[in-house]
Amino acid sequence: MTVLRGAERVGGEARVLVPDTVLPRSRWIRRRAAPRPSLRGRFARLDPLVALTCVVAAAVFVLHGFDGVLSRDLGVYMYAGQQVADGVAPYAGILNRAGPLAHLLPGIGVAAGRWVGADDVLSARVLFMVLSVACVGTAYVLGRDLFRSRPAGLATAAALLCFEGFIRYATYGPREKTAMVLFLLCALLAVTHRRWLTAGCFVALATLTWQPALFAALAAAVTAALLAPTGTRLRALARIAIGGLVPTAVTVAVFVALGELRTFLDDFLLINLQYTHQAPLLNRFGKTWGVLGTPTAGRCGSSSSAPSHCWCSPSSACCVAAAATTSGRPRWPGRASPSPPDWPGRGRRSTAGRTPSCCSPPRPSASAASRPWWAACRRPGSP
């Protein structure tokens, strides 16, 4: 005797009906797992536009060149990376009002460059160019999955690639905001797929790179968790908190092992909470509005604190708006559900009168957590 289970919803997609065998004299049902696709089938479902956007971004950055001026903050982060490569803890040799990852990441590039005999500045800038390429590719995946549209993903990646300040810091760095953008995009992608633990982890990494990123990223994650289906909100908030505590605890443990815990507290928290006195944005509303409306406000050579305002305020609004669209409520009520994909050997199902998968709202499923990490790079319509 066999029983057909209902189709399970996974991220807006429907799985085929799988026959279940009822054990004799028992209430338990032995569920037959669907056959896993082969390695060739997995590669066939990968989205080629992910690689295409990365290649285009790499070509743009390479043509931009690596011979930019190493000025002010860029020189501070470059010297901090050299100190880290020499074995000095972040904040111990030199510091800026950013997180420890802003000092650690250039150090990784410098250490890798010394291992192959490359210049310190060039090796650090190549590493940050790779991070920038990853930002563009992640932006495409985020736009594609959020709006269920490849053209929307391409528009998202193209918009990020058109920011003059982003291109400048991609090869004229190192700059901490490049890594911060990557962590924020990964956090939003995790929020889109309701991977709350992963979202909390990337929120913490973005904060450990640049402290004001906490307000934008946490607002997005908490808003999406509160808009989750009833009964899962508290669990989502708890997973976000646990995911954020893991990188923070590891960072604190490293500074404790190095004997620099007091230095970490002073230079990561107290320097911004107690030692820094910055005028609020509304004190000089006219000047602030002029800075935000100036196309060249976020350029590298600017001597004001305008880049911080331009990064934080619009990104907060965009993050909250993106999180609001990831709620489990249907955006097109009254439409039919999409048809399940066709598996080899399972027969074909009629798709007449049904809407494509791009028009169905995402719904959570317990089996979604078992999907591999590279599932985000699949084509939108693949199982």
Residues 106 and 12 in one domain: no
Highest mean pLDDT among 44-53, 202-211, 295-304, 321-330: 202-211
Contact 118, 227 (CB under 8 A): no
Contact 166, 181 (CB under 8 A): yes
Residues 64 and 20 in one domain: no
pLDDT digits (tens, 9 = 90+) for 74-126: 999 999 999 999 999 999 888 888 999 999 999 999 999 999 999 999 999 99
Cβ-based neighbours of 376, under 8 Å, separated by 6 or more: 141, 145, 189, 193
Residue 292: the pLDDT is 61
Angle at 318 between CA 243 and CA 104, to 5 degrees: 45
What is the C-alpha to C-alpha distance for residues 379 and 101, in angstroms, rounded to an integer?
Answer: 33
Residues 271 and 147 in one domain: yes
Residue 8: the pLDDT is 42
Query: Residue 30: which H helix or E strand, with range?
Result: strand 29-31
Residues 57 and 26 in one domain: no
Residue 124: the pLDDT is 95
Residue 271: the pLDDT is 82
Range of the domain at 3: 1-32
Q: Among 65-69, 245-249, 282-286, 327-331, which is the least confidently predicted range?
A: 327-331
Q: Does pLDDT of 155 surpass 80?
A: yes
pTM: 0.70
Tell me the average pLDDT across 46-52. 91
Number of structural domains the chain divides into: 2
Token pair 């594609």 is found at 144
* Domain contains 13: yes
Which tokens sit at 323?
Answer: 């999180």
* Domain contains 363: no
Residue 41: the pLDDT is 62
Residues 2 and 120 in one domain: no
Q: What mean pLDDT is reported for the chain?
A: 76
Nearest to 95 by CA among 81, 109, 105: 81
Confidence of residue 378 (pLDDT cuts 50, 70, 90): low
Residues 173 and 316 in one domain: yes
Cβ-based neighbours of 89, under 8 Å, separated by 6 or more: 255, 258, 260, 263
DSSP state of 327: S
pLDDT digits (tens, 9 = 90+) for 271-282: 888 777 766 666
Residue 312: the pLDDT is 45
Tell me the average pLDDT across 13-42. 55
Beta bridge partners of 356: none
Tell me the average pLDDT across 182-201. 95
Share of the chain above pLDDT 70, in %: 61
* Domain contains 95: yes
What is the C-alpha to C-alpha distance for residues 152 and 322, in angstroms, rounded to an integer?
Answer: 13
- Decide: helix, strand or coil at residue 83: helix
Q: Does pLDDT of 203 surpass 90?
A: yes
Q: Does pLDDT of 382 surpass 70?
A: no
Higher pLDDT, 140 or 383: 140
Residue 213: the pLDDT is 92
What is the C-alpha to C-alpha distance for residues 296 and 380, in angstroms, rounded to an integer?
Answer: 37
Which tokens sit at 165?
Answer: 């300040």
What is the chain's length?
A: 383
Residues 57 and 163 in one domain: yes
* Domain contains 377: no
Which tokens sit at 122?
Answer: 């060039």
Tell me the average pLDDT across 64-71. 90
pLDDT digits (tens, 9 = 90+) for 293-336: 665 444 444 444 444 444 444 444 455 445 445 444 444 444 44
Nearest to 104 by CA among 172, 211, 179: 179
Which tokens sit at 27?
Answer: 């209430």
Higher pLDDT, 120 or 33: 120
* Domain contains 293: no
DSSP state of 282: G
Residues 83 and 162 in one domain: yes
